[in-house]
Amino acid sequence: MLGKLILSTSLALLAWNSLSPPFDWRSAIVCGLAAGVVSGVIIFSFVGVSLGSIGAAAMIGVSAGVAAGLFFAKQGDGAKKAATSDTTMREPTPDTKPVTAARIAPQLDIYFEPSASPNRAAEFRCTLVVYEARAESSEPWNYSIKKTRIAENSGARFYQKLRQALQEWLKREAVGDAEKQPRRVVVYMTPFPGDGVYERIRELAENNEIRKCLVVRDRGTWTPLESVRESGIPSDE
């Protein structure tokens, strides 16, 4: 009797497993054994040990195991779907904002014109270099060069023009502005412009009321940004 019961139960489980929905076998075995043992102890205490009581305990264990396997399999499948949905929702959206000539690099370069004296710059003469994104390019760092030359006969006029040029550059949209990244002004000191020139330029740039700006001194001669130089883009004189 017990052998037939176990055999029929095994065959039913094998057939059901081939056609069944997702099933958690680990949970089924653990819960089935626990339910079978507990129910067997209770039944044996009342009616004693017999084939009937053993079969009843076994059927209770099998039923509990099947129910647990279906339940926990469904819970696990739901958790996987939720994780997949969450991953899809958190997937970053690519930046599809087109690059236009209105966008500029966050760096401006300043270098000075040489004079007749070796390594000495001419007074009140410099060139500002702005890197402008090419309108026909989709590459975020593909820039052309725009140069603005300032040449005056007095320091007052020179610094006034320089201040105006810096403010125009600071007002334009640049890469990194949305993340509140500071602008960068690089002053090239060869040829040497004279004592106090770098300090005055730094004061004009850092004390503006438009946006944060950092000023860096470079003791070498000016060269364009690596991205522009490698692309071979000509400058606009």
Q: Band of the pLDDT at 79, cuts 50, 70, 90? A: low
For residues 64 and 49, what is the distance between their CA atoms, to the nearest angstrom? 21
Per-residue pLDDT, 234: 45
pLDDT level of residue 88 (50, 70, 90 thresholds): very low
97 lies in some domain: no
End-to-end CA distance of the chain: 103
- pLDDT on residue 237: 44
Asked if the model's pLDDT at residue 19 lies above 80, the reply is no
Confidence at residue 132, expressed as pLDDT on a 0 to 100 scale: 81
pLDDT band at 124 (very low <50, low <70, confident <90, very high): very high
Q: What average pLDDT does this structure show over 7-25?
A: 56
Q: Where is pLDDT greater, at 90 or 228? A: 228
DSSP H or E run through 133: strand 121-133
- Domains in the chain, number: 2
**What burial letters (b/e) apply to 168-198, b meaning 16+ CB within 10 Å?**
ebbeeebbebeeeeebbbbbbbbbbbeeebb
- 116/224 same-domain check: yes
Q: What is the CA radius of gyration of the chain?
A: 40
Average pLDDT of 44-70?
69
**Spatial distance between the Cα atoms of 121 and 219, rounded to a whole number of angstroms:** 13
Asked if residue 101 lies in contact with residue 49, where contact means CB atoms within 8 angstroms, the answer is: no
pLDDT for res 176: 79
Domain end position, chosen among 57, 90, 123:
90
Q: Are residues 108 and 224 in the same domain?
A: yes
Looking at the chain, the whole-number percentage of residues with pLDDT higher than 90 is 38
Residue 86: pLDDT above 90? no
Place of tokens 């003469």: 125
Which among 29-33, 87-91, 202-206, 223-227 has the top mean pLDDT? 202-206
Instruction: Indicate whether 99 belongs to any domain.
Output: no
pLDDT of residue 94: 43
What gap in Å lies between CA 7 and CA 82, rounded to an integer? 39
pLDDT of 175 higher than 50: yes
pLDDT at 174: 84
Same domain, 143 and 83: no
Asked if residue 95 belongs to a domain, the reply is no
Domain holding 82, by residue range, is: 2-90
Per-residue model confidence (pLDDT) at position 30: 73
Q: 33, 57, 90 — which closes off a domain?
A: 90
104-114 β-sheet, strand order: 213-218, 183-188, 104-114, 121-133, 143-151, 235-236
